[in-house]
Amino acid sequence: MTEKVLVTGGCGFVGNALVRALLKQGKEVTVYDRLTHIKNLEDVKDQVNFVKGNILNSDLVDTMSDNHITQVYNLAASPFIPDSYYYPRKVIETNFEGALNVMMAAQISKVERVIQVSSSEVYGSASYTPMDEKHPLNPHSTYAVSKLAADRLAFTLYKEHEIPIVIVRPFNMYGPRFTQPYIIPTIIRSLCKEPKLTIGHRSARRDFTYVEDGVDALIKIMDCEEDIDGVTINIGSNKTYWIFEIIKMIQDILGIEEIDIDTSISKLRPYDVNLLQCDYGLLNGLVGWAPTTSILEGLRKTVNWYKEVMEDGW
């Protein structure tokens, strides 16, 4: 029987990559989204059932029931950390109350499994590396707090109501069709305009995963035949890169000889994370997943996509 899958936030950066991968597997996909970035799925729109909505609304039950949904990926969120400095209530409502709506709708609709997509930001800066799922939780932003609150909610709802939820914590994903000004898209956009950059935190090291590898992990977790309900699973590469290493790789891909790099206090976070490095051993043991795209290959694909869409007026 063909799986009927709901992807909340399916037009977003990770969401659209997930939708494409699910379609290739022959699954029936419903996207529940505000549709702000629907252009991300323009080339496959005839294969997707789109429902315009907000996870804070009460129509999720109807969406799941009407479309006979069996699997749910909750990717809908307010994902840009600086937004949480300026709009903390909105971020908490979307990321926590919205997640509650998704989970309760999934219970009523009796879906087989829900993946609640969290964030490595809930760990805060590494107290040891690589960081496994038992790493202390020390969120450094209101965004991270909202995601951690949703994590704990997911676990308690699994315990109290037996809702089949798996909590997934991706480390930094990157790739084509980005929708937020994260560090890699910001570097690419800036250097495609002129050989000049303004950055904030100079010493941060991050664990980057190419989005198609991350999506492959999400699908493998959803289809895992082990009893993993209530379990938290990391997705990452176990490799870290300093911001200047990323800049140098993108500089070389673009063929730029020299870059003028400035630091701006305005780009510094009030309480930043210095180091994130993923231990994906649990995921590897469960489904045999490991990243296959090197950082250089992933960056080259991302840069090439951006250069193409600049020419096409995307």
Q: Does residue 270 form part of some domain?
A: no
The answer to whether the Cα torsion of 303, 307, 309, 310 is positive or negative is positive
Domain count, the chain: 1
- Taking the C-alpha atoms of residue 31 and residue 40, their distance in angstroms, rounded to an integer, is 12
Strands (E), the chain: 4-8, 28-33, 48-52, 71-74, 113-117, 165-170, 172-174, 196-199, 205-210, 232-235, 240-242, 260-263
- Name the strand (E) or helix (H) holding 154: helix 142-161
Q: Does residue 306 form part of some domain?
A: no
Q: Does residue 61 form part of some domain?
A: yes
Q: Write b or e for each residue in 211-229: b if 16 or more Cβ atoms lie within 10 A of its Cβ, otherwise e.
A: bbbbbbbbbbbbebeeebe
Q: Does residue 258 form part of some domain?
A: no
Task: Specify the CATH number for the domain of residue 284.
Answer: 3.40.50.720
- Encode the chain (314 residues) as per-residue pLDDT tens digits: 789 999 999 999 999 999 999 999 999 999 999 999 999 999 999 999 999 999 999 899 999 999 999 999 999 999 889 899 999 999 999 999 999 999 999 999 999 999 999 999 999 999 999 999 999 999 999 999 999 999 999 999 999 999 999 999 999 999 999 988 889 999 999 999 999 888 766 678 999 999 999 999 999 999 999 999 999 999 999 999 999 999 999 999 999 999 988 876 656 566 679 999 999 999 999 999 999 999 999 999 999 999 998 755 44
Q: Does residue 145 form part of some domain?
A: yes
pTM over 0.85: yes
The answer to whether the Cα torsion of 175, 177, 178, 183 is positive or negative is positive
**Domain membership of residue 54 as a residue range:** 4-178+209-238+277-291
Q: Does residue 188 form part of some domain?
A: no
DSSP helix/strand/coil, 75: coil
- Taking the C-alpha atoms of residue 245 and residue 183, their distance in angstroms, rounded to an integer, is 12
Q: Does residue 307 form part of some domain?
A: no
Q: Does residue 297 form part of some domain?
A: no
- Region of residue 124 (left: phi > 0; alpha: psi -120 to 50; beta: else): left
